[in-house]
Amino acid sequence: RRRRRPCRSQYSLQTSACFVPHSIIINHFIKLENNMKVLATFVALLSAVSAFTSPSFLGKSLATGVRSSSCLDMKYTLVLVRHGESTWNEENRFTGWYDCPLSTKGVAEAEQGAKLLKEGGFTFDIAYTSTLQRAIKTLWIILEELHLMYIPIKNTWRLNERHYGALQGLNKQETVDKHGKDQVLVWRRSYDIPPPELEESSEYY
């Protein structure tokens, strides 16, 4: 059976990806000293590849019209990259959907992550990221380092960080001191218990 060129997709995000394949096999995990995390995975697609709207996602061999014996046999590499430190990360504040930029340290983290990807020989056909500038800027830095600024970029709010409601903008340690560590942990990590609602009078509404 003829081997096909793998297609690699780049995510810059803080939450899970907007599409979840049926089977994901972790290939390797790299943790930088500056806490930026780069997760490289091999993805076995068991659903129809036609679900993806962009032909570039299929890789150059398929996009140019070469027929595959079975699209379900294709292997893809999915790379997840957390954005660099933001200004509100630096201030230890709940960020949520507030659109703060990268800090100076965050820019350096993104640059370091980009260099690691380049050294690893990664290349990509399409990129996905949120609508928040800290994630978008991280992606831009990576694509510039890899000389891939021409590839399609898909922005979606579904890749935004979790919305922290009334906690947004508050200092994390002060919030723990006021409400207790256990309660704050429930607000931050639980799946079905949301944080306190954000009032319309809030500057972040």
DSSP states along 122-177: ---SEEEE-SSHHHHHHHHHHHHHTT-TTS-EEE-GGGSPPP-GGGTTSBHHHHHH
Task: Note whether 134 and 100 are within 8 A (CB).
Answer: yes
Q: Which residues face 41 on adjacent strands?
A: 26, 78
The active-site residue out of 22, 111, 161, 179 is 161
Nearby residues of 176 by Cβ (< 8 Å), 6 or more positions away: 184
The active-site residue out of 83, 85, 109, 145 is 83
Catalytic residue flag (residue 109): no
Helix 133-145 vs helix 104-119: crossing angle, to nearest 10: 40
Task: Note whether 76 and 43 are within 8 A (CB).
Answer: yes
Task: Note whether 167 and 196 are within 8 A (CB).
Answer: yes
Catalytic residue flag (residue 83): yes
Nearby residues of 91 by Cβ (< 8 Å), 6 or more positions away: 171
Active site residues: 83, 161
